[in-house]
Amino acid sequence: MSSTPLVESIALTKHFDMGKSHGKRQIVHALDGVSLEIAEQEILGLVGESGSGKSTYGKALIGLHDKTSGEVRLKGETLPARYHPRDFERHATSMQMIFQDPYSSLNPRMTVGEIIGEGLRLHTRATAAEIRDKVTGWLEQVGLQGEHAGRYPHEFSGGQRQRIGIARAMILEPEFVVCDEPISALDVSVQAQVINLLNDLKSSMGLTLLFIAHDLSMVRYVSDRMAVMYLGTVVEIGPANDVFFSPRHPYTEILVASNPEPDPRTERSRASTTISGEIPSPVNVGAGCRFVGRCPHAMEQCATVTPELIPLKDDSNRRVACHLF
Amino acid sequence: MSDTLLQVDDLQVEFDTYGGTVQAVRGVSFEVHAGKTLAIVGESGCGKSVTVQSMMGLIPMPPGRIVAGQALMHGVDIIGRKEIDGRDIRGREIGMIFQDPMTSLNPTMSIGDQIAEPLLVHRGYSKKRAFDRAIELLDMSRIPEAAKRARQYPFEFSGGMLQRAMIAMAIACEPKILIADEPTTALDVTIQAQILDLLNDLRRETGMAIILITHDLGVVARMADEVAVMYAGQFVERGSVDDVFYRSSHPYTLGLRAAMPVNDQQAEHTLTPIDGSPPDLFHPPKGCGYCARCPNAMKICEEHDPDVTVMSDTHSARCWQHHPTAPAKVEGLYYREASA
């Protein structure tokens, strides 16, 4: 791995204060000490169940959430804990985001041309004519047509809207893009279109991506490395194929085993792999491993000592937060 | 084949809208066998939900209209009927669970009361007996502390728990068929696995049939005995789960499979998207619905709707490539059979 990662989070923590209930402060531990680094031109996949903090992490990285503690570094430079409008202006051209829901993330009262061109208008000195040309260029690059610029979002299908969202993020030619579940609202045949588009853009623009999704197969396909989150912490990280095909953390094992394969023979030969229970509440989480309540291998120390994310003895590319290793 | 519970023939459903008439379901036929799971798989807007809703009398009319077709249960056409020999179809013959358990339950009624309701209505149970049965049903759906949980309200349940409560409600009157419309789409994979296992166990214990509606081929592979692939209001391919996965015979089925990642460490592959989008069902194409996106489309595909070609006792597809007079078979139309 190169010397300085492009994006790095160090013990990034985000708590939400929900006020008092029964005389006790309710603190939601959305992120607790997440340290990850993303190398230049790498795709890091982030998987986990809903409520595990994946989206919070993506948003905290690019400053859409204030940080409770910890820091985020972009090319070694520490980013502010709380963004002011000036900070957004400064970083908009280097970091962008693609959102999950192509329906609610586009302003219905703006034309597609205005939506895509807005970043240029706000953050660069481009003239109206330059913006128009660039918007047309990007519409074509994402597989739409230049004349679509005058239309409104409701005139497009879900897949087309997601392309509009991609064009909006890419027009500023950022170095780092957070893709927050960019395909989960789309049909299978359209998912592949969007994934291939992202892959093409990644290689032509030299992008670095954080790809957040809950579809394990898709994350494995897309990503170089894969990180698994559970209840605000990273439990395992490593090369995507290794994590998928030989998971080490008990939670990753269960996640992979629950992932339905589109192959009846595989499915028939699969033993029932369900774990009981559900992801616990992230309010006022105490010490100890967060997976302890559902873990089939839970030991005594798991309930009291929080495991750290450390490299495996036999594979330094893999880091696992579990007392078994 | 085991005994047929439900036989649907040439079902056609239309909706009147401001934009014109949408032909949502365009001639669908299938059978449901006791103790088996039939999966109807397709993308959004293909008509899979409308197909099952029309059997349950859940199509609002107007604007909806069942133009043609029948659904025979015990030799009686159930379309437009509420009961067979005094037995209600909805609830007693066919139970149903929905995609979004959060909005499908009444937020102002306790879970136990909601499960007891069909027993009061259909079975004439006393309140006490119905509530006790509701607790048993929650227990069958593997909800811990069922007696306590029955007194709680939907907001106190998680998504997975709500779906279990929905299942308990749907099986309360021991229906012969359970329709599950995208039952796990809103759930996480570990919870999805729990719910799918529960459905399979209940099917084995009670011998009911399941009609599973989904867009997820992984869920199909896990659950289905028989599969119907739906596209633009028609079944383009039908067969046993192995037929459809290992001997895929319709270009759309192949297209779907090629668009999904395969988890095989050896195989380096790239996803092949299906270009274009489904046809406008306001004006369905004269020929094959898939023609505009099909890589192997021929002239006849634009002109004439393909006949159903029967490949085997269990397997059929709606594609001109299989017609005896079709030019040489297109290479790769049959999915390479994975080595067993």
A221 shares contact with chain B (CB less than 8 Å): yes
How many CB atoms neighbour CB A31 within 10 A?
31
Q: Which residue of A has its CA nearest to B240?
A: A264
Per-residue model confidence as pLDDT tens digits over B56-94: 888 888 888 888 888 888 888 888 777 777 777 887 888
Determine whether the interchain pair B189/A193 forms a contact, defined as Cβ–Cβ distance below 8 Å. no
Chain B residues with beta carbon closer than 8 angstroms to that of A214: 188-189
Q: How much is the pLDDT for B82?
A: 79
| Predicted complex ipTM | 0.81
pLDDT 10s digits, A90-110? 888 889 999 888 888 999 999
Listed by number, the residues of chain B in 238-257 with a beta carbon closer than 8 Å to a beta carbon of chain A are 241-242, 245-246, 255-257
What pLDDT, on a 0 to 100 scale, did the predictor assign at position A91?
A: 85
Residues of A in contact with B253 (CB under 8 A): none
Mutate to test the interface with A, among B164, B184, B185, B188 (most CBs of A within 10 A): B188
Decide if B256 and A217 are in contact by the 8 Å CB cutoff.
Answer: no
Chain A closest-CA separation from residue B121 CA (Å): 33
Q: Domains of chain A: which residue ranges?
A: 7-94+174-248
Q: Please report the pLDDT score of residue B108 as a whole number.
A: 93
Is residue B337 very low, low, confident or very high in pLDDT (cuts 50, 70, 90)?
Answer: very low
Pairing label, strands A43-47, A208-212: parallel
Chain B within 8 Å of A188 (Cβ-Cβ)? yes
Which pLDDT score, from 0 to 100, does residue A115 have?
A: 93
State the fold for domain A7-94+174-248: Rossmann fold (3.40.50)
Q: CB-CB: which of A192, A193, A260 is closest to B218?
A: A260
Over residues B216-232, the pLDDT tens digits come to 899 999 999 999 999 99
pLDDT per residue as tens digits for the range A274-294: 677 777 888 878 788 888 888
pLDDT at A2 over 70: no
Query: What is the reported pLDDT for B1?
Result: 46
Query: What would the two tokens of residue A141 be?
Result: 């690059």
Residue B329 pLDDT grade (very low, low, confident, very high; cuts 50, 70, 90): low
Count of A-B CB contacts under 8 Å: 117
Query: Is B218 in Cβ contact with A259 (below 8 Å)?
Result: yes
**Is some CB atom of chain B closer than 8 A to the CB atom of A266?**
yes
Binary contact (B189, A265; C-beta < 8 A): no
Within 8 A of B48 by CB-CB distance, chain A residues are none
- Examine residue B63 and say whether the peptide bond preceding it is cis (omega within 30 degrees of 0): yes
Query: Span B235-254, mean pLDDT?
Result: 91
pTM: 0.86
Residue numbers in B near A193 (CB within 8 A): 273, 275
Q: What percent of chain B has pLDDT over 70?
A: 95
pLDDT tier at B7 (50, 70, 90 boundaries)?
A: very high
Residue B334 has pLDDT above 60, yes or no: no
Confidence grade of residue B331 (pLDDT, cut at 50, 70, 90): low
Contacts of B259 in chain A (CB under 8 A): 188-189, 191-192
Q: For residue B154, what pLDDT is reported?
A: 92
**Taking 90 as the threshold, does the pLDDT of residue A270 lie above it?**
no
DSSP SS3 for B183 = coil
Q: Which residue from B minimizes the CA distance to A294?
A: B190
> Residues B146-153: what's their mean pLDDT?
92
Contact B189 A255 (CB under 8 A): yes
Phi, psi of B280 (to 5 degrees): -75, 115
Question: What is the β-pairing status of strands B64-73 and B76-77?
Answer: antiparallel
The whole-chain average pLDDT of chain B stands at 86
B residues 176-215 near A, CB within 8 Å?
A: 188-194, 196-197, 215
Q: What is the pLDDT of residue B88?
A: 79
Separation in Å, CA of B312 to nearest CA in chain A? 19
Q: pLDDT digits over A105-140, tens only?
A: 999 999 999 999 998 998 888 899 999 999 999 998
For residue A276, which residues of chain B lie inside 8 Å, CB to CB? 194
Can you list the domains of chain B with their CATH numbers? 4-224 (3.40.50.300), 248-322 (no CATH)
Q: pLDDT over 70 for what percent of chain A?
A: 98
Per-residue confidence band for B309, with pLDDT thresholds at 50, 70 and 90 = confident
B218 in A contact zone (CB under 8 Å) = yes
> CB count, 10 Å around CB of A77?
9
Does the distance separating the beta carbons of A214 and B190 come in below 8 Å?
Answer: no
